[in-house]
A = this chain, B = another copy of it.
Amino acid sequence: MLWSVNTRPRTKPAEERRDDLMNAAARLFLKNGVAATSIEQITVGADVAKGTFYLHFASKDDVLLALRERFVSQYLDRIRKAIARRPEGDWRGKVAAWAKAGVTGYLDAAALHDIVFHEYQPQSGKKHGDNIVIVHLTGLLEDGAKAGAWSVHDPRITATFLFHGLHGVVHDALAEKRLVRRRLIAQLQQACFRAVGLPPG
């Protein structure tokens, strides 16, 4: 056909389309904010028609939720791998690795994190559900305690405390452009040691 030059492939595996849309959404959310991003902008950004959006997501909140899930699971993956690199029994090293991966993983995607977690709360009734990063850290703290590496009265509370403390510090550091990565990591590792009752480095 003569006009075939301008024709894009009409069809793509659903998963790929979904990803296109999520990526376009992430980009636009970052640039303009969630509330200020329209579905139309997202579809234009993903190079599909408006209606196609609704083939893959039920609403704007739905993409936001999907973005959240993706973010968290990538973040946790990173932490998991960093910890796994430490030898069995090196509990102090594991905590240090947790802090380091937590800081860097956040720094590398902080803007997206903020957008996706703080800028806009989905209307949906269902609450966040468990924060899997905290759940994971709780496990680590329990294991270390069991192994006699440290003493933690309430691993869940401590994990929550560490998680939010770390994120708060990194977030504030970003906001103020005071950003010496190494220093930040070192300080937060100390904070983690203290929090579980380990002596400073």
Contact = CB atoms under 8 A, between A and B. Distances in A.
A187 B154 contact: yes
25 contacts: A33-B121, A33-B123, A35-B120, A35-B121, A35-B123, A36-B123, A118-B118, A119-B121, A128-B175, A131-B172, A153-B190, A157-B169, A157-B191, A160-B168, A160-B172, A161-B165, A161-B168, A161-B191, A163-B168, A164-B164, A164-B169, A167-B168, A168-B168, A194-B194, A195-B195
**What copy number does this chain have within its complex?**
4
Report which residue of A127, A157, A163, A195 has the largest number of chain B beta carbons within 10 angstroms of its beta carbon.
A157
Contacts of A134: 172
Determine chain A's interface SS by DSSP, over half rule: helix
Interface string A129-145: 00100100000000000
